[in-house]
Amino acid sequence: RDGHAKREEPGPMIFALIGALTIGLSLGIFGSGGSILTVPVLIYLLHHQDKVAIAESLGIVGAIALISAIPYARAKLTDWRTAILFGLPGMAGTYLGAWFAAFVAGYVQLFVFAGVMVFAAARMWKRSGAGATTTPATDPKQRAAMRIAAQGLCVGVLTGFVGVGGGFLIVPALVLLGGLSMRRAVATSLVIIALNSSSGFWKYLHVLDSLNTTVDWRTIGLFIVIGGVGSFVGKAMNDRINQAALQRGFAIFLVVMAGFILTKESVKLLSRPADAVANVSREQAPDGLAHAAPSTMERRFSPRDRAPTGATRRRGYDLGWRHESRRPDNGPTTRTE
């Protein structure tokens, strides 16, 4: 490739902007689902590298969740006690989970991501058939603070490791274990998502810096603006949807997205053995030919592994690989151990 960045095709960008609007709608209606949409949009439409997309998703969803929480708070639907007791331990857990994520490959995170989505969908579907529209018998003030804090910490660790806002984990926890109605759980989850995402985003910036890459701030800003508009529309739709139907729709949505991610990442993973065989062949080549082929320590990059548009063209390897940095003019390559 030459050193000049190619102009992005309008088709994927248009779909990405539609995706940003849908992200806001999802957060406004379900109080979750933002990152479930954001990560696939950034990876499969804008071709951002896995870990970069995960970091950007936390920044985007955290900001949109904060915007989405405003109308719910004005309607006095937010349970602030639960938000604080759940959110503060969740922030600590998210930071820890994001730190641990630096030690695994991006596709591992996505597989875990999809698995937890299916589990949450099953629990939400079961709940929808068990009186979802009724008010929980347990009064929120009687719930043990330690129980809520423990839930927040566990969800935070998963949130940080998977790299999502965590709404699809938080909403079921608030409904099934916290005793909140679906609508109050949605309102409260938005505050918790904003807290958890801010903690995870901050940690991921350090993780990406260690991998010699960065986020695309222009993409983050654009998604926040469009998604913020969608969140207000989603809030208006939430007021007109039956809560049982809301939970069933949420469960179906999770299963569909989990299937999509598992399919895409499985195909990607199964294609890797061929590359490994090719690298072994190069290693066994005569000395006179070995210098003409990439070393086995060099990893093949797909288009998604390029640095985001507008950022310095830097490539980060997973932990254990060398870091490679390229200047914008495609000049000599420098490596650091």
For residue 299, the model assigns a pLDDT of: 39
C-alpha 61/C-alpha 23 separation (Å) is: 8
For residue 54, the model assigns a pLDDT of: 85
Classify 46 as helix, strand or coil.
coil
For residue 243, tell me if it sits in a domain.
yes
Burial (CB count within 10 angstroms: exposed 0-12, middle 13-18, buried 19+), residue 257: buried
For residue 327, the model assigns a pLDDT of: 39
For residue 287, tell me if it sits in a domain.
no
Domain of residue 249 covers 10-267
| CA contacts within 13 A on the Cβ side of 146 | 0
DSSP H or E run through 240 = none
121: left (phi over 0), alpha (psi -120 to 50) or beta: alpha
For residue 142, tell me if it sits in a domain.
yes
The sign of the torsion formed by the CA atoms of 213, 110, 112, 118 equals: positive
307: left (phi over 0), alpha (psi -120 to 50) or beta: beta
For residue 148, tell me if it sits in a domain.
yes
pTM across the whole model: 0.67
Please write down the long-range contacts of 105-111, taking CB distance under 8 Å and 24 or more positions apart. 105/50, 105/318, 106/49, 106/50, 106/51, 106/54, 106/318, 107/50, 107/265, 107/268, 107/269, 109/50, 109/54, 109/161, 109/162, 109/163, 110/39, 110/50, 110/261, 110/265, 111/262, 111/265
pLDDT in tens, the chain (337 residues): 443 344 456 666 788 888 888 888 878 777 776 777 788 888 888 888 888 988 898 899 889 889 888 888 998 999 998 899 899 999 999 889 888 888 888 788 878 878 877 887 887 787 666 544 444 545 445 556 787 888 889 888 887 887 767 777 787 778 777 788 888 988 999 899 999 888 889 888 988 888 888 899 999 999 999 998 988 888 788 777 776 777 787 788 778 878 887 887 788 788 766 554 444 444 444 444 444 444 333 333 344 444 444 444 333 333 333 334 343 444 554 444 4
For residue 295, tell me if it sits in a domain.
no
For residue 292, tell me if it sits in a domain.
no
- Split into its structural domains, the chain has a count of 1
For residue 119, tell me if it sits in a domain.
yes
Q: Which residue bears the tokens 């904003």? A: 194
For residue 41, tell me if it sits in a domain.
yes
